[in-house]
Structure 1
Amino acid sequence: MLSGSYDVGKFAVSVEAKSSFHYAKAQLLFILIQTLDFESLLRMVRDEVSFSGGYSTFSVVDILEMDVEVSKLPEFAAVGSGPLILAWAVFLCLVMSLPGSNTNLDIDHTSYAQRSFEFSPFNYLHGVLCSSIFKESDGPVSGFRGILRTFISAFVASYEISYQTEDSSLGMILNILREVYDGEESLCMQFWDKDSFIDGPIRSILHMVEKEYPFQISELIFFLSAVCHGSWPAQCVFNYLERMNGVTMLYAVPRSVTDNVNYHDQIEIHGPISIPGIEGITIPGGSHGYILKVLEDDVALVRWEVKYLLYSIILTYICFLR
């Protein structure tokens, strides 16, 4: 119905008809993703439940039959097939990670994942969330956000992601998560609930962004602003910021002490030092830091523990944005 000679989209002539068709296609995609039931799979992974003894509605025979159909999917219009193929790759990865499933399944889920990224699947999903026809629809927008949240969590649990300049996937994932949580108090409460196994992988993304602080400060601020809706989530964000009392940065170790510094050694600076990329904010003299890694040319990666420094940097950044 969506491609080839049976493509119903070719009957859409007016702008309104084309928009309605694209919205219907996006709804179909969300329905298929929800049908894969990533929530149950994530629960099975957490509890280390075997595939045969779990909650999956599909048998191994069902999965093999579905894989035959997915493998025959035409790569139509790129934007439509990318998220669907990626969802299937994530589903296979989670299933094959369960005890007792590898012996019956011999499918290369990584090839599906690589194929899907040729179509920028996260760009499509983010575009759907931000589209006016989606936001102004009478449908269950919160439900769509919940489906995407579970899918993103399943993806993070399946594949390793990191900051890479040549790959914009993490940036698009952060954009999607901000759209998902922003204004949804119930989802924000679940995000900060340590017992929420769905949000566990997503919380790891927050910690990843924190490690890049202060160099990824805008991503950190926008993420925290999206998950602070409601009194309890706002308190959680405040507590999170209060615990962040340090900055990790490169530091040129004085030659007089270069030969004596090792991993986790404590050092002290006698004068203020500037934070690269942030004007007007310095680490004050007398501050203590811990050596995280000794690099070449007398340079070390140091974690400086400075109380309230984070508040100063964030306030400076917010004023800069205004």
Structure 2
Amino acid sequence: MTALRRCAAVFAVMLAGLASAPGVALAHGIGGSAADLDVWEFLPLGIEHMLLGWDHLLFIGSVVLLAGELGRAAKLITVFVLGHSTTLIIATLAGWQINALAVDVVIALSVAFVGIVGWIGRPQRWTWFGTAVLGFGLIHGLGLSTRLQALGLPEDGMLARVIAFNIGIEIGQLSAIAVMVVLGKLLTRFITWTHAERATHGGFVAIGVVAALVLTTLTLTGVNNDARAETLGSCTITPRATTYSAAGGGHPAKPFYGPSENYPETDFGHVLGDGYVLVHYPTTLPDTQVAELKKLITGPDGAGMLAGAAPDQDGPLRAVTAQQQLECDEFDLPALREFTKNWHAELQGNNAN
């Protein structure tokens, strides 16, 4: 359908300019805290995620353009929805978490993949392409789940909240497609270049490859795309990159685990969404510093804190919340106290709202 191809092309050009603008290419993901949101508030949260996710919008646009007709496009988008809905729900309920930035790399490559297919020519058989779309959807759902869990989901009514979030994503997705169609009908008279469709596929390839390279660099260097690093004392605050398995976890038996003990990872992951600050230190930390840390964690100032040794940790201190983490090059307890104080103040502010 000519109008559909043209509207997809127009939408792709708009997003290409948006994605190439400094700072916008990294503006992706979910912000804030979800611990105190009710079920219905997860609908706009899902809509926000989809409309701010330029890479996902580009993927949808590239699929619509390649499909060439509304009926086929609807089938392919349905397959994509089935894929990401399945892993979003299962991974969230099971507590599976992966590197969300790495998923963004895959989504960027998926845009390039669809662009390459379109550049070569529409498939004679669509089954294999639909399978690829399903695979990208499954991977996308894992990334969605990881970002959603980072907000601190309450245990009560988790399934209902995840479903509401997923419905919000679909509303955002349908809204984006509707915008493509409307823009196509309004601007179709201005698109007369016979090679516009193939050029748009080439644009998808270029944008996908460049975005994948940028995101890969960020992944390898440990830089998260949600915010810039901040400093606190001798420590650095970054968005959370440390993940935990929460499947089957409960509340830890005690707040401090010594260097020779294995801290219960599933229990730590279980309470991360409850607002706890999880502190880690290397097993080689000097005994005097271990004693100081234990005194803090088990004392009156250690409320809402847990600590356990991490054998593979390099720095003397690491503190993790649902959204951020503190990395210290020195044994800086004052910075740890301030980090914890600020986190608890933020949680109280959210509760007050």
TM-score (norm 1): 0.25
Q: Whose helix fraction is larger, Structure 1's or Structure 2's?
A: 2
Q: Which one has more relative contact order, counting CA pairs under 8 Å at least 6 apart? A: 2
TM-score (norm 2): 0.24
